[in-house]
A and B are shown apart, each in its own frame.
Chain A
Amino acid sequence: MSIATYAPLPRRKAPISLPRIVTYAVLIGGAAIMIYPLLWMLMSSIKSDQEIFSNPAALPNDIDLSNYFTGWFATNPSFTQYYINSFMICLGAVIGNVLACSLTAYAFARLEFPFKRTLFTIMLLTLMLPSHVLLIPQYVMFARLGWVNTYLPLIVPKFLATDAFFIFLMVQFIRRIPRELDEAATIDGCSTFRIFTSIIFPLLQPALITTIIFTFIWTYNDFFSQLIYLTSPESLTVPVGLRTLVDSSGGAYGQLLAMSALSLIPTFVVFLIFQRRLVEGIATSGLKG
């Protein structure tokens, strides 16, 4: 397949055509279903707890933003600290996953070495064991390493490519990159590492963007391991804080919904920023450089 330098598809000034109307109708209709929960959450977050449960579907009686303020400071320390902690963990996890998983994926997708199939199978197997079964052995291990109550159990594994999901994802994308590119570079005398950094890595951009988005969001939402490995109150994170607001013995549901709504903002922003790179033609236009 030849790789031509590429300019965006010439778009005809499409008059309003039937397919386009259908497209918009489907998109808008679907969006209404998708956005309902957010609207409900926002609506409920300005209600009192009694109102939330006695009258869940109704519009609020009046607008009362106090849940946002009281919720933010309901925990000790406040959510300010939780957000800082969450962002630090997310940043570490994103960098780790992007670097370590792309290196590993490149080896599996392009290089030849003994036991490749076996190792690849082992990698996939790590995805198949339910995490609850691994929890206690993992905790014991991290406790012996003295890593409990630090961010190490949450970040170091990412730098050691333990997230097989992203390795497999990148393998699938690398395999769609034409091999002629590597071969041409090899003939030009490029080292394997050079090929990785100057050909594969840039062309892998859609997969890397996906990895960044997912790693950020999944780490940000990863209530369970943050709960288990972090103990001191100052080290806790947003999802743990959210879970603290309400328990089976009641609590502040309005504050929970207000804080849950707020907690969506960072993930939504990260998503909006990075999804822009997922536009038609990026893979080929990346070759120009």
Chain B
Amino acid sequence: MNRRFNLSRRSVLLGGTAALGALALGTTGARAQTGPVRFGIFGNAEKLAIRGNSVARYAELHPEINVVYEGVPSDAWPDKIAAMVAGGNAPDVITLSSGDLEQYATREALEPLDDLIPDPIRGDLFETAVLDLGRVNGTLYGLPIAVSIQGMGYNQSAIERLGLDAPPESWNYDDFALYCAEVHKADSSMYGCHDGGARLGDLGMTLVAQGRTLFTENELGVSVDEVAAWLEYWNKMRETGATVPPDLQAQFTGTEWPNSPLVRGRAIFANMASQDLAGGYQALTTDTLGMMAPPAPVGSDNPGYFPRPTSSLTLNARSNFKQEAAHLMDWFVSDPESASILGLVSGPPASRPALEAVLALEDISEVDQKVLRHSQAALAQANPAPPVHRGERAVNDLMRRVNENVGFGAYGVQQAAEEFVNQGNALLRRA
């Protein structure tokens, strides 16, 4: 398969060389180029510009390759990439979030990368555990750009304004509930935390802390009673004002940060992916935010940290320039020069030399330093990453819905838990 592909690539190359050569003669006399090698990535204008700079630098260093950079607004990326892959018109390098990586890899849209290691992809620049984050069912499909790890963001200025003691270094869910209730007592318009009952990932962490996983094959790895206990915990939190009322929470589906209770100044704490503190939250408020450990399950001191790629570079299975594209991918994630251009735009880099290059940067902002400190510490005590399921996003939405139904009083906790497990299993089966 590979060999045949190479042949066809050569013929394309030859044809392309002839045509481009003719063009080049008339102009600068530059060498004929291979390509185009298209690099597709998402982000907002600011981040796209930074990422584009890295790709542009690569193109400068490799004039023999015609690199095309295609940056797309983030929230439109899922639709656009789906259409492009279906239409056979996708870029050679495709950036995917960890949920989408699973979707595309299991549907044979991506090229396995194992055969491209060590040349042109230098796999040994990653810790094995980190590179494994790009594996789906044992096959490597994605190169993690940056590693994400959970953290608890908090509003330091607000705590000071309320005159509360600083939260402890580490705590469990009971301590957390007490502290959050204190917040509401100190100021009745403030709440301790956003509503974690809606967050599947937080429930997942409590399982990981116990050495379990949320998904096992095509089943949920959690019982009705456990889900009920989780929902009940947050229901109690609502009763004591430790977490925000349901209508405040409902504005924040998890993706629109300006609506989050933390940014709106209504809650002190918010579980988040640690890089998001620097990548958005802090920019939306004048208060000073900090980052600390999320609570551990009662009776444990392990918050259940596990790493996830923020996003991964993947190789289009139908690319005509796989070697060149892989070479560009390797540059983007691992080269120190690329890393110093990118900085912490996606979070702490996944590959070792890239991380070192970023740590050596001198102009790291204060909030970036907080993220780096936290993620280094958290990664040191992280658990192995649980498997990703391609139905995860659908189950995540289900969790939010059942929690909303409990919050607004439509269901009892028991009924909500049963619905979650029944429908969740059905979603996993049909995903």
Q: Is the CB of B279 within 8 A of A250?
A: yes
CA distance A122 to B328 in the complex (A): 49
Q: Is the CB of B286 within 8 A of A228?
A: no
Q: Is the CB of A233 within 8 A of B286?
A: no
Q: Is the CB of B286 within 8 A of A54?
A: yes
- Residue on A nearest B83 in the bound complex, by CB: A139
Contact residues, A244-275 vs B (CB, 8 A): 244-253
A50 part of interface (Cβ distance < 8 Å)? yes
Report the minimal beta-carbon distance from B194 to chain A, rounded to whole angstroms. 16
CA distance A49 to B283 in the complex (A): 8
List A contacts of B384 (CB < 8 A).
Answer: none
Q: Is the CB of B87 within 8 A of A249?
A: no
Q: Is the CB of B276 within 8 A of A249?
A: yes
Q: Is the CB of A54 within 8 A of B285?
A: yes
- Residue on A nearest B255 in the bound complex, by CB: A248
Taken residue by residue from 126 to 149, chain A's Cβ proximity to chain B (1 for < 8 Å, 0 otherwise) reads as 000000000110011011000010
CA distance A252 to B71 in the complex (A): 17
Q: Is the CB of A53 within 8 A of B263?
A: yes
Q: Is the CB of B74 within 8 A of A148?
A: no
Report the minimal beta-carbon distance from A137 to chain B, rounded to whole angstroms. 9
B86 part of interface (Cβ distance < 8 Å)? yes
Report the minimal beta-carbon distance from B290 to chain A, rounded to whole angstroms. 17
Q: Is the CB of B70 within 8 A of A247?
A: no
B265 part of interface (Cβ distance < 8 Å)? yes
Q: Is the CB of A227 within 8 A of B284?
A: no
Q: Is the CB of B70 within 8 A of A240?
A: no
Contact residues, B57-74 vs A (CB, 8 A): 68-74
Contact among B45, B47, B49, B87 with A148 in the assembled complex (CB-CB below 8 Å): B87
Q: Is the CB of B87 within 8 A of A140?
A: yes
- Residue on B nearest A227 in the bound complex, by CB: B76
Q: Is the CB of A74 within 8 A of B89?
A: no
CA distance A231 to B77 in the complex (A): 12
A23 part of interface (Cβ distance < 8 Å)? no
List A contacts of B256 (CB < 8 A).
Answer: 248
Interface centre among A135, A223, A250 (most CB of B within 10 A): A250
A76 part of interface (Cβ distance < 8 Å)? yes
Q: Is the CB of B284 within 8 A of A53?
A: yes
Report the minimal beta-carbon distance from A228 to chain B, rounded to whole angstroms. 5
CA distance A202 to B263 in the complex (A): 57
Taken residue by residue from 109 to 142, chain B's Cβ proximity to chain A (1 for < 8 Å, 0 otherwise) reads as 0000000000000000000000000000000000
List B contacts of A191 (CB < 8 A).
Answer: none
Question: Are A139 and B87 also in contact (CB < 8 A) when A245-B44, A246-B44 are?
Answer: yes
Report the minimal beta-carbon distance from A80 to chain B, rounded to whole angstroms. 15
- Residue on B nearest A76 in the bound complex, by CB: B49
Contact among A54, A139, A228 with B265 in the assembled complex (CB-CB below 8 Å): A54
Contact among B71, B82, B281 with A233 in the assembled complex (CB-CB below 8 Å): B71
B280 part of interface (Cβ distance < 8 Å)? yes
Q: Is the CB of B284 within 8 A of A250?
A: yes
Contact among A139, A140, A249 with B74 in the assembled complex (CB-CB below 8 Å): A249
CA distance A139 to B44 in the complex (A): 24
Report the minimal beta-carbon distance from B91 to chain A, rounded to whole angstroms. 8
- Residue on A nearest B56 in the bound complex, by CB: A76
Q: Is the CB of B284 within 8 A of A244?
A: no
Taken residue by residue from 241 to 280, chain B's Cβ proximity to chain A (1 for < 8 Å, 0 otherwise) reads as 0000000000000011110000111000000000010011
Q: Is the CB of A50 within 8 A of B87?
A: no
CA distance A228 to B283 in the complex (A): 30
A232 part of interface (Cβ distance < 8 Å)? yes
B236 part of interface (Cβ distance < 8 Å)? no
Q: Is the CB of B43 within 8 A of A247?
A: yes
Report the minimal beta-carbon distance from B308 to chain A, rounded to whole angstroms. 15
List B contacts of A142 (CB < 8 A).
Answer: 87
CA distance A76 to B76 in the complex (A): 18
List A contacts of B221 (CB < 8 A).
Answer: none
Q: Is the CB of B70 within 8 A of A245?
A: no
Q: Is the CB of A249 within 8 A of B69?
A: no
- Residue on B nearest A253 in the bound complex, by CB: B258
CA distance A231 to B89 in the complex (A): 10
- Residue on A nearest B281 in the bound complex, by CB: A250
- Residue on B nearest A245 in the bound complex, by CB: B45
Q: Is the CB of B286 within 8 A of A50?
A: yes
Report the minimal beta-carbon distance from A48 to chain B, rounded to whole angstroms. 9
A243 part of interface (Cβ distance < 8 Å)? yes
Q: Is the CB of A76 within 8 A of B279?
A: no
A197 part of interface (Cβ distance < 8 Å)? no
CA distance A244 to B72 in the complex (A): 7
A172 part of interface (Cβ distance < 8 Å)? no
Q: Is the CB of B80 within 8 A of A228?
A: yes
List A contacts of B72 (CB < 8 A).
Answer: 227
CA distance A245 to B44 in the complex (A): 5
CA distance A253 to B280 in the complex (A): 11
Contact among B43, B79, B263, B285 with A228 in the assembled complex (CB-CB below 8 Å): B79
A186 part of interface (Cβ distance < 8 Å)? no
Question: Are A249 and B280 also in contact (CB < 8 A) when A54-B285, A227-B72, A244-B73 are?
Answer: yes
List A contacts of B366 (CB < 8 A).
Answer: none
B48 part of interface (Cβ distance < 8 Å)? yes
Contact residues, A42-84 vs B (CB, 8 A): 49-50, 53-54, 74-76
Q: Is the CB of A248 within 8 A of B70?
A: no
Q: Is the CB of B285 within 8 A of A143?
A: no
CA distance A75 to B44 in the complex (A): 9
Q: List 29 A-B contacts (CB under 8 A).
A: A49-B283, A50-B283, A53-B284, A54-B286, A75-B45, A75-B48, A135-B83, A139-B84, A139-B89, A140-B86, A140-B88, A227-B76, A227-B79, A232-B70, A243-B73, A244-B45, A245-B44, A247-B42, A247-B43, A247-B74, A248-B75, A248-B257, A249-B74, A249-B257, A249-B279, A250-B284, A251-B44, A251-B46, A252-B44
State the 4 A-B residue pairs at the shortest beta-carbon distance, nearest first: A250-B280, A247-B74, A143-B87, A251-B44
Q: Given A75-B49, A247-B74, 18 other A-B contacts at CB below 8 A?
A: A50-B283, A53-B258, A53-B284, A54-B285, A74-B45, A136-B87, A140-B87, A140-B88, A223-B76, A224-B76, A227-B76, A228-B83, A233-B70, A244-B71, A247-B42, A248-B75, A248-B255, A250-B284
